[in-house]
Amino acid sequence: MTTDPRYPSLTFRQDYFDDPAAWAALVSLLQDTFGIDLDPLRRLGGADPTSMPFGWFDDQGTLVANLSAFAMPIVINGRVVRAGAFQSGAVRPEWRGRGLYGDVTRKALEWCAAQQFEAIVLYTDKPALYEPYGFRALPFHAYSGPAPEAPTSTAAARSLDPTVAEDLDLLRRTLRTRTPVSDVIAVRESAAMFLINTQFDRDVRLSWLANERAVIAWKSEAEDRFVLVDVVAEVIPPLSAILGGLGIEATSIEVLFSPDKLGCELLAQPLQSYTHFMIRCETPFVLDVPAMLSPMADF
Ligand SMILES: CC(C)(COP(=O)(O)OP(=O)(O)OC[C@H]1O[C@@H](n2cnc3c(N)ncnc32)[C@H](O)[C@@H]1OP(=O)(O)O)[C@@H](O)C(=O)NCCC(=O)NCCS
């Protein structure tokens, strides 16, 4: 814990997730700022074990400013990049405009430098906030097209519910041994993000394909439109096997990651989203082909 003459009534703490009251203060800050509830993460195995939160607390224990960093190894253009990521960046309204966010950003950047991350990534609706620190937006593309012929599967898919112990176990085991869903851009594991995103987007369904030993995260937007959100498996099955295994008879498909391992032809179009994925790295690069990070890795 440290103090700073610029904020005499506040105390700075980092790495505070082991303190239940401080965790609750973060849950409250994110609820008040973004309307999201991070607390279910505790029942889903907890925050990413590499998490390093940086926060300013008042004397009531209220968290008034925060930014969390964590390790997020990511495959980019076929290579595993040792990346760090920023999330949970927020300052309570009455404390804004006093340099608190700049302060936690600098502290998080210093921590990332000490970890020797090759890159830092984040999502934001305010890219201007991060451009002065060398972050730049990476445009994302989703893929769509007509559905391929799907063979009839012999084994029916099983729905998974991460709040059921047995299903959570299966999910966590499969996440641990997953292969990146794409070689263009994809996370290597990021289990905590996957699990909490199942709670944030209730339209996403999870199904277990026993033959393929694959967890499929998917949505059905209209009766005949199938949206593939993510695939967690040691070997990524072809799209036709996924559709067959799920027993889906869609006419059109959307895939929210690069389908380079799916064995199908789909067309890329720019992703319409209010948030931007930003990256800070030594050497600027472009993605080999249009792509996006699965929303199940969103953080
Ligand atoms: C955005 C937010 C974190 C800024 O917090 P803050 O403590 O007021 O920021 P600071 O006073 O440390 O300002 C840091 C810098 O960011 C700039 N900045 C502040 N708000 C900004 C915004 N909305 N857009 C772009 N730049 C902004 C400031 O001008 C300042 O620039 P300077 O260093 O050149 O003076 C705060 O307004 C907030 O919590 N907003 C809601 C949640 C959110 O948007 N989170 C971050 C996005 S992921």
pTM score of the predicted model: 0.94
Residue 52: what pLDDT? 98
Candidates 3.40.50.80, 3.40.50.300, 3.40.50.740, 3.40.630.30; correct CATH number of 11-139+273-284? 3.40.630.30
Pick the range with the lowest mean pLDDT from 44-53, 142-151, 250-259: 142-151
Distance 88 CA to ligand 1 centre (A): 13
Q: Please write the tens of the pLDDT for every residue from 195-217.
A: 999 999 999 999 999 999 999 99
Q: How far apart are CA 41 and CA 19, in angstroms?
A: 15
Two domains, one topology: 11-139+273-284 and 142-269: yes
Has residue 154 got a pLDDT over 80? Answer: no
Note the maximum CA span of the chain: 68
**Tell me, what's the pLDDT at 156?**
81
**If pLDDT is split at 50, 70 and 90, which confidence band does 159 have?**
very high
All residues at 6 or more sequence positions from 59 whose CB lies less than 8 Å from its CB, including other chains: 9, 11
How close is the Cα of 230 to the center of ligand 1, in Å? 32
Q: Give the DSSP H or E segment for 232.
A: strand 225-232
Q: Is the pLDDT of residue 193 over 80?
A: yes
Amino acid at 71: A
In the CATH hierarchy, which fold is given to the domain comprising 142-269?
Aminopeptidase (3.40.630)
- Mean confidence (pLDDT) of the chain: 95
- CA torsion, points 203, 199, 93, 84, in degrees to nearest 10? -110
Question: Per-residue pLDDT averaged across 162-173, rounded?
Answer: 97
Q: Using one digit for the tens of pLDDT, what is the confidence trace for 38-63?
A: 999 999 999 999 999 999 999 999 99
pLDDT at residue 83 is higher than 90: yes
Domain ranges of the chain: 11-139+273-284, 142-269
pLDDT at 267 over 90: yes
Q: Is 245 strand, coil or helix?
A: helix
- State the pLDDT confidence band at 13, using cuts at 50, 70 and 90: very high
Which one of 91, 133, 274, 277 would you pick to mutate in the ligand 1 pocket, going by the greatest count of ligand atoms within 8 A of its CB? 91
Mutate to test the pocket of ligand 1, among 6, 66, 94, 101 (most ligand atoms within 8 A of CB): 101
**Is residue 148 very low, low, confident or very high in pLDDT (cuts 50, 70, 90)?**
confident
